[in-house]
Structures are given as structure tokens and as C-alpha cells.
Amino acid sequence: MSELLVRSLEASTVFLLAALGELVNQRSGILNVGLEGLMLFGGTAAFLMAQSTGSYAAGLAGGIAVGSLLGWVHGLFSVRLRGDQVVSGMGLWILSFGLTTYLGSPRTGPLGLPRFPALLGLSPFVYFGILLVVAVWFVLSRTSLGLAIRSVGESPAAAAASGVNVAGIRYLCVVFGGALAGLAGAAYTLSYNPVWNYNFLMGWGFVSLALVFFSMWNPWVLLGGSVLFGAMWQLSLSPEYVLPGVLSRYVWRTVPFAVTIAILTVISTPWFRTRWGLAKPQALGVPYGD
């Protein structure tokens, strides 16, 4: 059971890292529906770098760098060129899905390095994720940078009129979001499940994206949602802990996705939307500029 708890926390951390970056992204008004693609590319880059060099540090650096680069590309299209953010995000996802399959396939299989070092029995990513929640909450709600991020996400015109560099803030957030998505992918391929397989995430990025909506753009609620989904994900892999012998293991694998749809439905009801609508950044997904 303790193993299940540990694995659940590690799974939660992958969701948390990706979703936290996307939360900052969205608070600045930029939606990246290609989050899964950034995670796929970041995870694959980390896996290949770590395997080639034998160094986890190099793998992490590779994952973060590739995630940041793809985040910047999304920013270029969304912020500078004021393109359709959904088109750009979908483009990044399908690009990553296609290219990582090609690039990673020759290395299909286990990482082949000693297990990622643990800290007090847990992956260090778990502690880092919690610290990051505190940091993101503090920056967003207690600093002038956070005020600038929130203002460009609510009303970029008003923010610009008060002297905020809208494009600069949005670039910063979208690169930060990309870096965390890359890190989340790296946490998956280096620590949580160090085996490369084509399309290894199979929906983790989209669940992370949904978590941002569930969280009402609040880092603390996001932390709770990530823990819940991490546990649910792990239980769907090991249903014998809850209901041994009931339903096939394949049916259990559908549970996190079905629950995601159910929660998305609940938070979209008029009753919930009155609160959710207030929390949603007003300029989310809307290009800004002349």
C-alpha cells in the first residue's frame, strides 16, 4: 500500500508540474492545448539525453530546454503573430506526437541507468512540485510581477495603458509553461516510468490541461486536483487494491478519463459557472495587438 502511495504522489507530480506551467500560461491569457506535445517532446529529449550521456542532469536540462523552446514557438505564433492559439497548440501536439515517434523509436525500451535518486523515499520532483506551488502562488498573488501577469490575462489593453509590457509578460509565461511541461515530461521518463515507448503519455497532458480548468486557476486547488488524479491514475493501474477481480484491467484504465469528462461537465453547469466564470482569465485565448 505504501508503494501505491509513493507511486500516486509521483504520478501526481507529473500532472502538477505540467498543469502549474499551463496555469501561469493561462493567467497571462495564453492557452496552450498542445501541452501533451510539449510533455512528449520534453520527456523524449530528456530520455535521449540522459541515455546518451549517462547523466540525469543532462536529461533534465534537455527536457526543460526543449519544452522552453516549444513554449517560445507557441508564444511567437500566439503573441507576436497573433495567430489562433488552438491551431498553434494543436500543431505543436501533432508535431511532437509525430517527431517523437520517429526520434525515439530506435531507443524503445528501458532507460538503462540506475534508478533516479530518491529523497526520503520519494522522488525529488515531489518536493520540487510542492515548492513550486508555493512559489507560483506567492508570485501571482503577492508580487508586482504576478499583478502584471494577472492583468495581461484579464485586460491586456488596460495593462498596456498602465505601462505593462504585455508581449514581454506573455512570452515569459509561455516559456515558463513550456519549461515546466518539458520538466513534467522529464519527470515521467526519467523517474516515474523510465521506459520509452511511442506516445508514452497517452493523455497525461490533456488531463493536466483539464486540471487547470478544474482548479479555477488557483495553484492550491491545482495541487489538490493533481493529488486526486495521481491517486486515481495509479489505482486504475492497480485496481486490485480497491476492487480485486471486478471488471477487466482495461476497463479500469478508462476511469481517469471518464472521471475527467464528468468533472468537466459538473464545472460547466450554470451553478458552477457563476464561480468558475469569475475566476477564468477574461482575455484567455484572445490575441492582443493592433
Partner 1 sequence: MKIGVYRLSVERAEAPSPTRVALGALLAVALALLLASVLFWTPESGPWAAYRIAFGYAFVNPSGLGATVHRAVYLLLCTLAFLIPLRGGLWNIGLPGQVYAGALAAFAVPFWAGARELSSGTAGGVALVSMPLAAALAGAALGALVGLLRAKLAVNEILVTMMLNSVMFWLVSDFIKEGGAFMSATAEGESFTLPEVFRPPLPLGLPPSAFLGLAAAVVVDFVFSRAAAGYRVRTFGLNPHAARYAGIDPVRVSLWVFVLGGAFSGLAGYHYFAAVPGLYKIPTNYGYYGDLSFYGIICALIARGSALGAVPMALLFAGLSVGGRFAQGALRLPFGVDYAILGLLMTTFVLSHLVDRYRVVWQRAAPAPTSAPPRPEGAR
Closer residue to partner 1, CB minimum distance, 84 or 154: 84
5-30 exposure pattern, b = at least 16 Cβ within 10 A, e = fewer: ebbbbbbbbbbbbbbbbbbbbbbbbb
**Amino acid sitting at position 274:** T
**Whole-angstrom Cα distance, residue 18 to residue 136?**
13
Residue numbers 109-148 binding partner 1 by CB under 8 A: none
* Pick 84 or 146: Cβ nearer partner 1: 84
CA 37 to chain CA centroid, nearest Å? 10
Return the ∠ at Cα 61 (arms to 57 and 67), rounded to 5°.
145
Give min distance, CB of 108 to partner 1, in A. 8
Among 57, 258, 279, 282, binds partner 1 (CB under 8 A): 258
User: Under the criterion CB under 8 A, does residue 284 sit at the interface with partner 1?
Assistant: no
End-to-end CA distance of the chain: 57
CB of 179 to partner 1, least distance (A): 21
Taking CB under 8 A as the binding criterion, the range among 7-15, 86-94, 117-125, 127-135 that sits at the site for partner 1 is 86-94
Q: In 3-state terms, what secondary structure has residue 109?
A: strand
193 lines the binding site for partner 1 (CB under 8 A): no
Binding test (CB under 8 A) with partner 1, winner from 58, 95, 122, 286? 95
Taking CB under 8 A as the criterion, the residue among 59, 71, 75, 91 binding partner 1 is: 91
Among 96, 155, 193, 234, binds partner 1 (CB under 8 A): 96
Which CB sits closer to partner 1, 97 or 137? 97
Backbone angles phi, psi at 195, to 5 degrees: -135, 125
**Phi/psi of residue 248, nearest 5 degrees:** -80, 160
The residue (of 118 and 202) whose beta carbon lies closer to partner 1 is 202
Residue 259 Cβ vs partner 1, minimum distance, rounded to whole Å:
9
- Rounded CA separation 286/273 (Å): 20
Quickly tell me which residue has 501561469 as its cell: 24
d(CA 72, CA 176): 9
Among 53, 55, 83, 128, binds partner 1 (CB under 8 A): 83
Q: What are phi and psi of 31, to 5 degrees?
A: -100, 130
Kindly state the smallest distance separating residue 130's Cβ from partner 1, in Å: 26
The residue range among 18-26, 101-109, 142-150, 183-191 that interacts with partner 1, by the rule CB under 8 A, is 101-109
Strand locations in 63-154 (E): 109-110
Phi, psi values for residue 196, rounded to 5°: -90, 135
Which run of H or E residues covers position 195? strand 195-196
Minimum distance, C-beta of residue 142 to partner 1, in the bound complex (Å): 30
Question: According to CB under 8 A, which residues from 202 to 221 bind partner 1?
Answer: 202-203, 206-207, 209-210, 213
Residue ranges binding partner 1 (CB under 8 A) = 33, 77, 81, 83-84, 86-88, 90-91, 94-99, 101-103, 105-106, 198-199, 202-203, 206-207, 209-210, 213, 248-251, 253-254, 257-258, 260-261, 264-265, 268-269
